[in-house]
Amino acid sequence: MIVVKDWKEVEAEEMLEGVRIRWLIGKELNPPNFYLRLFEVEPGKATPYHQHEWEHESFILEGKGAIRNPEGELQEFEPGYFIYIPPNEKHQFVNTGDTVLKFICIIPKKD
């Protein structure tokens, strides 16, 4: 079944103060391989500094930010940039701009 839907119709879940996630393609659609998520990070906020056993593929849609790598260093990005995070690499997305940072994140389905 092909699904076509406006991203604004998907409810945002508050992960942390100022960090929201929308599961665009998640458990309710039961995809065989990947989940597609949209993150919204308010100015001055960040996702958790964490690691996990799966990779990430991300694409920056709006806003300015930086990704913190395992050494704690920040690498800046802006709309149009893509980011690959290998499995088990510590990382964090930080909004360094003055507007909402929006990015798409694809992860493998691990259910």
Half-sphere exposure of 5 (CA within 13 A, CB side): 14
Distance between CA 39 and CA 19 in Å, rounded? 7
29 SS3 class: helix
Q: Which residues contact 63 (CB under 8 A, 6 or more apart)?
A: 41, 78, 79, 95, 97, 99, 100, 101, 102
Predicted structure pTM score:
0.93
Tokens in use for 7? 């991203």
Domain boundaries, the chain: 10-108
pLDDT tens string for the chain (111 positions)? 899 999 999 999 999 999 999 999 999 999 999 999 999 999 999 999 999 999 999 999 999 999 999 999 999 999 999 999 999 999 999 999 999 999 999 999 986
- The residue ranges of DSSP E strands in the chain, in sequence order, are 13-16, 19-25, 34-41, 56-62, 65-68, 74-77, 82-85, 92-95, 101-108
Domain 10-108, CATH? 2.60.120.10
